[in-house]
Structure 1
Amino acid sequence: MSNSASGMAVCDECKLKFLELKAKRSFRFIVFKINEKVQQVVVDRLGEPGESYEDFTACLPADECRYAVFDFDFVTDENCQKSKIFFISWAPDTSRVRSKMLYASSKDRFKRELDGIQVELQATDPSEMSMDIIKSRAL
């Protein structure tokens, strides 16, 4: 079922993989992309549980937009082990204007399909999603 505003459907695999990340912690992160030919959001890459935040940021293309979810583990000041699921909207300045508009107009609907996101972040370059920013947003 696509949204009339953006015309973008969400592939069932996106929702299934997100549920696996959330419930079973099968993945550290998931990168999603819009397949313009079929007007659908699809899974681009799955990050293994042992992969790091650096592995995640390295797989985001420098000149193309993406959506991503990252399961961030951290320890609170009270020494409690916690985790938060980040939704990251990646739209580098060097990506095509049409692509940025498409991702921006589809983002809210896509995000609603992924129940359980705790923190949202928008980034146009790697400095806007540095580990320091992730840590500060998680606490």
Structure 2
Amino acid sequence: MSSGVAVDDECLKVYEGMKLKKHNKYVILGMSEDDRKIKVLKKAEANATYDEFLKDLKEAESQGDCRYAIYDFDYKVERHGAPEASTNKLLFYIWCPGSAKIKRKMIYTSSKDAIKKKLVGIGGEIQGTDDAEVSYDEVLEKVKSGERH
């Protein structure tokens, strides 16, 4: 189901900059005032931490709202006895906390495909409704379990 929501061009520009040039560590995306367009709300420098990301992602919670985000997730991986190596994946997050209003959850959920299909090269999706689901360790486990398949 698609909600007919448009994706602002800046979302794609920021994503391409993350993918190709590592300009930003993450970007927080949200709905415009009239709920007709997904737009960039915040961009973080390339040296931002995961804790800073979580703080920015969860900022909307106090207003009963949801968010999307793209995060350049760094982690270490072992492959077939080779030494541990650093790698990364661009992850798409949809944050719909339990405290969010039902209408907001419906708008974000039904509009998710509008943004996701434009983000070519996303390495995984993280759906979060509480702190545990977006904790670094939980996301790392999801990413690594995807590596094994």
Tell me the TM-score range normalised by the shorter chain.
over 0.9
Give 1 or 2 for the bigger CA radius of gyration: 2
Instruction: Report the Cα offset of residue 97 of structure 1.
Output: 0.8
Q: For residues 47 and 85 of structure 1, what CA distance do their matches in structure 2 show?
A: 14
Structure with bigger helix share is 2
TM-score by length of 2: 0.86
Q: For residues 113 and 5 of structure 1, what CA distance do their matches in structure 2 show?
A: 14
Deviates more, 1:7-16 or 1:73-82: 73-82
Q: Which amino acid aligns with 2:86?
A: Q
Runs ≥4 residues deviating over 6 A: none
Number of residue pairs aligned between Structure 1 and Structure 2: 136
* Alignment partner of 1:6 is 2:3: yes
Instruction: Report the Cα offset of residue 38 of structure 1.
Output: 5.9
Residues 1:5 and 1:138: Cα distance change in structure 2 (over 3 Å)? closer
The one-character-per-residue Cα deviations of 1:61-112 (angstroms, maximum 9, x if unpaired) are 2232000010011111231110011111000111111111000001012101
Unaligned runs of 5+ in 1: none
Q: For residues 35 and 93 of structure 2, what CA distance do their matches in structure 1 show?
A: 23
Q: For residues 112 and 121 of structure 1, what CA distance do their matches in structure 2 show?
A: 15
Q: For residues 124 and 65 of structure 1, what CA distance do their matches in structure 2 show?
A: 9
In structure 2, the residue matched to 1:135 is: 140
The structure 1 residue matched to 2:47, chosen from 19, 44, 50, is 50
